[in-house]
C-alpha cells in the first residue's frame, strides 16, 4: 500500500489503526473530536439541475468546502483526537460516470488533513448504493477501509456501522447477518466487561435512527420503525450514550431514554436552513456535549470557551 493511501485505509479487520489500541483503552480525562457528514461531492450541482439521479457532473464547490473544513480543523488548539465523516463521501453511486473523479478529488482534498488528526470514514447510501451488494461493499472497503469496525479513543468505545445493511440488505443478506452478529458481540463484550469497561460507548452511522422522535413515521431520511426500535433497544441495553449520523443535510435529532440521537448537517449541500459545517463533540467523564459550527465560525473563532472549559476538568 502506498504511503499516501494510509490515511484512507486505517479501518481493516474490523479495527482501526489510526489510534494505538492498547493506549486508548484508558480514560485519561476529557477530550473532543469532530463529527461531520455528507461532503457528497456532486450533489450541489445535481440539486441545482434538479437531477439527483444522473446529475452531479461538477463538484468544485464541495471540494472547496471540504478544504475549508480541513483547514478549520487543522487550526484548532488543542487538537481534536480524530475527525469522523459520517457517510455520503461522494454523490455518484457505485458504477456511475462521475464516481472515480469524485473519489479522487475528495481524497486529494482530505490529504491536507493534519496527520496527527486521524480520519475515520463511515459508509453512506451514495457510497454503497441504496441496495448494496457484495461488490459495491467490496469497492467501498477497497477505497475507504472497512464498512463497519470498532475502535477505542481515550477510554471510549466507538462503533462504526454500515447503516445501509439495516436499510436494505435484500441483495446481500449474509453481510447484514455478519454485521449483526459482530455488533451483538461488541455490545455484549462492552456491557459485561469488568476490565476494559468503556467510559462511554458511541455509535457512528450514516442514516439516523430517527430525525426528531423515536416513534415518527418511516421516510427516506430515517431507518424503518421496526429496525429502529430493535437498534434503540440494543443500544440502550448496552448503555450506548450517543448515535451520530448525517444523511439529512440538516441538523436534527433528540434525546430519549438516555440515548442521544445526533443528526448533523452537511459539509456539502444544505437541504434546510443550516450552514455548511461540522460538529464539535466534547467527551467528559459523565457527558457527551456537542455543538454544530459553521465552517466559517470554526475557522474564525475556534471552539467556544465554555466547551474548552469542559476539557480542563
Interface residues with Zn ion (CB under 5 A)? 88, 124-125, 247
Report in angstroms how near the CB of residue 42 gets to Zn ion at its nearest: 13
Q: What angle do CA 162, 163, 166 make, to 5 degrees?
A: 115
- As a whole number of Å, the CA-based R_g of the chain is 18
Q: Is 271 helix (H, G, I), strand (E, B) or coil?
A: coil
* Residue keyed to cell 488548539: 77
Q: What does each C-alpha distance from 265 to 143, 275, 304 come to in angstroms?
A: 24, 8, 19
Report in angstroms how near the CB of residue 221 gets to Zn ion at its nearest: 8
User: Looking at beta carbons only, is 30 or 55 nearer to Zn ion?
Assistant: 55
Residue 119 phi, psi dihedral angles, 5° rounding = -95, 135
User: Looking at beta carbons only, is 66 or 125 nearer to Zn ion?
Assistant: 125
User: Looking at beta carbons only, is 124 or 155 nearer to Zn ion?
Assistant: 124
Residue 55 phi, psi dihedral angles, 5° rounding = -80, -160
Report in angstroms how near the CB of residue 114 gets to Zn ion at its nearest: 27
Which residues does 95 contact at the CB level (< 8 Å), separation at least 6?
136
Report in angstroms how near the CB of residue 213 gets to Zn ion at its nearest: 20
User: Looking at beta carbons only, is 88 or 147 nearer to Zn ion?
Assistant: 88
User: Looking at beta carbons only, is 231 or 263 nearer to Zn ion?
Assistant: 263
Q: Is 131 helix (H, G, I), strand (E, B) or coil?
A: coil
User: Looking at beta carbons only, is 81 or 126 nearer to Zn ion?
Assistant: 126
Pairing of strands 288-294, 15-16: unpaired
Report in angstroms how near the CB of residue 126 gets to Zn ion at its nearest: 6
Report in angstroms how near the CB of residue 88 gets to Zn ion at its nearest: 4
Residue with smallest beta-carbon separation from Zn ion: 247
Amino acid at each position: 500500500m502506498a504511503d499516501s493511501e494510509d490515511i484512507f485505509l486505517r479501518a481493516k479487520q474490523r479495527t482501526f489503526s489510526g489510534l494505538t489500541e492498547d493506549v486508548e483503552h484508558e480514560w485519561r480525562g476529557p477530550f473532543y473530536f469532530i463529527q461531520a457528514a455528507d461532503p457528497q461531492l456532486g450533489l450541489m450541482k445535481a440539486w441545482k439541475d434538479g437531477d439527483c439521479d444522473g446529475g452531479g457532473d461538477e463538484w468544485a464547490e464541495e471540494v472547496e468546502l471540504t478544504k475549508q473544513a480541513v483547514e478549520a480543523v487543522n487550526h484548532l488548539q488543542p487538537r481534536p483526537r480524530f475527525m469522523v465523516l459520517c457517510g455520503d463521501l461522494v454523490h455518484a453511486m457505485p458504477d456511475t460516470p462521475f464516481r472515480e473523479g469524485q473519489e479522487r478529488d475528495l481524497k486529494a482534498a482530505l490529504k491536507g488533513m493534519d496527520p496527527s488528526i486521524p480520519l475515520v470514514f463511515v459508509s453512506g447510501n451514495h457510497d454503497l448504493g441504496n441496495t448494496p451488494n457484495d461488490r459495491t461493499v467490496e469497492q467501498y472497503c477497497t477505497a475507504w477501509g472497512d464498512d463497519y469496525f470498532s475502535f477505542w479513543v481515550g477510554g471510549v468505545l466507538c462503533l462504526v456501522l454500515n447503516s445501509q445493511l439495516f436499510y436494505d440488505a435484500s441483495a446481500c443478506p449474509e453481510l447484514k447477518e455478519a454485521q449483526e452478529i459482530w455488533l451483538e458481540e461488541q455490545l455484549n463484550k462492552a456491557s459485561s466487561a469488568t476490565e476494559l469497561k468503556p467510559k462511554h460507548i458511541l455509535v457512528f452511522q450514516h442514516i439516523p435512527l430517527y430525525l426528531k422522535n423515536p416513534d415518527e413515521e418511516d421516510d427516506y431520511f430515517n431507518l424503518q420503525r421496526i429496525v429502529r426500535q430493535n437498534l434503540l433497544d440494543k443500544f440502550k441495553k448496552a448503555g450506548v450514550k450517543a448515535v451520530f449520523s448525517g444523511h439529512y443535510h440538516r441538523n436534527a435529532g433528540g434525546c430519549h431514554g438516555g440515548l442521544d440521537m445526533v443528526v448533523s448537517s452537511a459539509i456539502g449541500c444544505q437541504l434546510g436552513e443550516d450552514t455548511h459545517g461540522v460538529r464539535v463533540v466534547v467527551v467528559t467523564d459523565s457527558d457527551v456535549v456537542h455543538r454544530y459550527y459553521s465552517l466559517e465560525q470554526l475557522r474564525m473563532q475556534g471552539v467556544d470557551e465554555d466547551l474548552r472549559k469542559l476539557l480542563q476538568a
